[in-house]
């Protein structure tokens, strides 16, 4: 009986693996056509100054609508990285963000910085800086409107990450470290380069509510940011309680409490409002 059961488990197991492999292949295939099929869209999530309640930035987050249903970036970005498709997709994202910045400028929106996620694979690409320069030139966008969000894996995998970061900063683009505090090497990552912004990973805030020592950790990281003169963004603010924990710090907040990421057509009301009122 045990043998029989083991065999069944094995069958379920391989079935499961097959399903996963099939899904992955489906995503790979569809992803390679997604740009020409117009299946991508950028959503934008507000970043709020927790002292003034003013909007100070928008993070561009990629959304994909293939014919077989929505796929989260959590699922398709790793596959895009693995296949190298992140190179054209990442270029599309930067270009699209630039086009959007121009549209807002034409609509006389206040000057708001747009954060664009850039993956380690893009950073490894020798042509990356050149491609970015080309896009900025073609679209004639003021680079100070743009911030690149990179994770520490960028610093660990690229050959000369600090050189590339310097080159990007010389273009006038800002640089943020995303998911700060989630990995193992956070401090070594920022010791050699001048980073504009540290984005504290949302896992820290999640844990603060359960574990009081995490609050000290969070304060310490905020202190590091102050010392290095970088802006601090705390990610994943979902509740009033979490916001209240952060009230006393001069930092920036981002999370569902303020707003989910929104498509450009739903951003009409984000510009002038005070985000700390009536929340
Ligand atoms: P990330 O850059 O750390 O982005 C933050 C993620 O947290 C986003 O998920 C956002 O929707 C989500 N989020 C925002 N506020 C909250 C909150 O209060 N609670 C919770 N639980 N989540 C919140 P999303 O859009 O699914 O993106 C996931 C990841 O995919 C991003 O993490 C980023 O690493 C990657 N990604 C998204 N767009 C791009 C892109 O254009 N290029 C690259 N290379 N990666 C991207
Ligand atoms: Mg990000
Ligand atoms: Mg993040
Ligand atoms: Mg992340």
Q: How far does residue 13's CA lie from ligand 3's centre (Å)?
A: 33
Half-sphere exposure of residue 155, counting CA atoms within 13 Å on the CB side?
26
Q: How far does residue 59's CA lie from ligand 2's centre (Å)?
A: 7
Ligand 1 pocket, mutate which of 73, 82, 237 (most atoms under 8 A from CB): 73
Ligand 1 contact, 62 CB (< 6 A): yes
Ligand 1 contact, 178 CB (< 6 A): yes
Ligand 1 contact, 238 CB (< 6 A): yes
Ligand 1 contact, 119 CB (< 6 A): yes
**Closest atom of ligand 1 to CA, residue 61:** 38
Ligand 1 contact, 72 CB (< 6 A): yes
Complex ipTM more than 0.90, yes or no: yes
Ligand 1 contact, 181 CB (< 6 A): no
In this structure, which ligand is nearest to the CA of 149? 2
In this structure, which ligand is nearest to the CA of 254? 1
Ligand 1 contact, 2 CB (< 6 A): no
- Find out whether 177 and 233 touch, Cβ atoms under 8 Å: no
The Cα–Cα gap between 107 and 122 comes to 31
Q: Could you read off the pLDDT tens digit of each residue along the chain, which spans 279 residues?
A: 555 555 566 666 677 888 899 999 999 999 999 999 999 999 999 999 999 999 999 999 999 999 999 899 999 999 999 999 999 999 999 999 999 999 999 999 999 999 999 999 998 899 999 999 999 999 999 999 999 999 888 877 666 778 889 999 999 999 999 999 887 777 777 877 889 999 999 998 888 878 888 888 889 989 999 999 999 999 999 999 999 999 999 999 999 999 999 999 999 999 989 999 965
Measured CA to CA in angstroms, residue 4 lies from 12, 14, 16, 17, 168 at distances of: 13, 16, 18, 20, 60
């Amino acid at each position: 009986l045990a043998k029989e059961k083991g065999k069944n488990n094995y069958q379920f197991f391989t079935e499961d693996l097959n399903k996963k492999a099939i899904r992955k292949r489906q995503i790979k295939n569809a992803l390679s056509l997604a740009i020409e099929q117009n299946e991508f869209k950028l959503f934008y999530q507000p970043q709020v100054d927790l002292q003034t309640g003013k909007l100070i930035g928008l993070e561009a987050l990629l959304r994909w609508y293939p014919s077989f249903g929505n796929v989260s970036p959590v699922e398709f970005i790793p596959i895009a990285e693995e296949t190298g498709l992140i190179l054209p997709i990442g270029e599309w994202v930067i270009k699209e963000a630039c086009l959007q910045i121009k549209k807002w400028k034409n609509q006389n929106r206040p000057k708001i910085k747009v954060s664009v996620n850039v993956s380690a694979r893009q950073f490894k690409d020798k042509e990356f800086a050149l491609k970015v320069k080309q896009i900025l030139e073609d679209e004639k966008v003021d680079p100070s409107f743009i911030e690149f969000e990179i994770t520490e894996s960028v610093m660990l995998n690229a050959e000369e990450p600090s050189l590339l970061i310097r080159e990007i900063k010389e273009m006038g683009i800002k640089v943020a470290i995303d998911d700060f505090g989630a990995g193992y090497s956070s401090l070594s990552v920022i010791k050699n380069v001048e980073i504009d912004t540290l984005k504290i990973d949302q896992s820290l805030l999640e844990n603060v509510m359960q574990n009081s020592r995490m609050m000290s950790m969070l304060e310490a990281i905020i202190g590091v940011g102050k010392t290095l003169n970088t802006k601090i963004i705390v990610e994943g603010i979902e509740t009033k309680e979490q916001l209240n924990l952060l009230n006393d710090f001069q930092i920036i907040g981002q999370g569902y409490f303020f707003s989910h990421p929104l498509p450009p057509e739903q951003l009409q009301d984000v510009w002038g409002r005070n985000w700390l009122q009536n929340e």
